[in-house]
Amino acid sequence: MFVSTSQMHLASNTVINSARTIGKIVSATLIALTLGACSTTQFVLPTAQEKFAFETAITNDLAATAELPLEEEAIYLHLERFLVSHPNVFGSTYSLDPAATGKTLAPYVYRVKGKLTRRDLTLDGYDYAHQSWFTQPFTSGAAIWSAPYFDAGGGDIEMVTYSVPVTKDGKTIGVLTADFEVLLKTK
């Protein structure tokens, strides 16, 4: 096959122009990613007064939670009563430590269109025992507030979570949470 000098020159320019176009796309993408990483998402978070009310509600529920039978139905019923009593709470779980209780059990109750819905957090690959809302209070022995996050596999919304370790006979056996939906601030 014979290729003329003008054809080679045309092919060379096409390759160079393609490389320049790709370079521009990559540069634009990197700039967009960098700018996106620098901006912070703003959420409407619970006020200090709301946080105090949520913390008090969970603290008041700890003793009753620790005395529950470690059975799924008993925990679901308890969580449903808790949510009915606290309409500002989006969802709640009492997730057990498998090592301490010999059970992998994480019943979760949350709101969907005004109705309480049950979800087993042990299904569908949701590894609750390695989620920060579980590990941080469990290892520290102290209650924590999470930063806003999207809870994929749990409530499937943007939320903040207040998590408290549950102890029985001086031993931490699980974590009780209260989730609060957070909304993006509008300008």
Segment 42-97, tens digit of pLDDT = 778 888 888 898 899 888 888 899 999 999 999 999 999 999 999 989 999 999 99
- Per the CB < 8 A criterion, the answer to whether 167 and 179 are in contact is no
List of residues 6+ apart from 106 with CB closer than 8 A: 93, 94, 95, 96, 120, 121, 122, 128
Written as six digits, the tokens of 153 are: 């596999």
Domains of the chain by residue range: 1-39, 43-184
| Alpha carbon distance 44, 148 (integer Å) | 10
CATH class of 43-184: alpha beta
Q: pLDDT tens digits for the chain (187 residues)?
A: 554 555 544 444 444 444 444 444 444 443 333 334 444 567 788 888 888 988 998 888 888 999 999 999 999 999 999 999 999 899 999 999 998 889 899 999 999 988 999 999 998 888 888 888 899 999 999 999 999 988 777 677 899 999 999 999 999 999 999 999 888 766 6
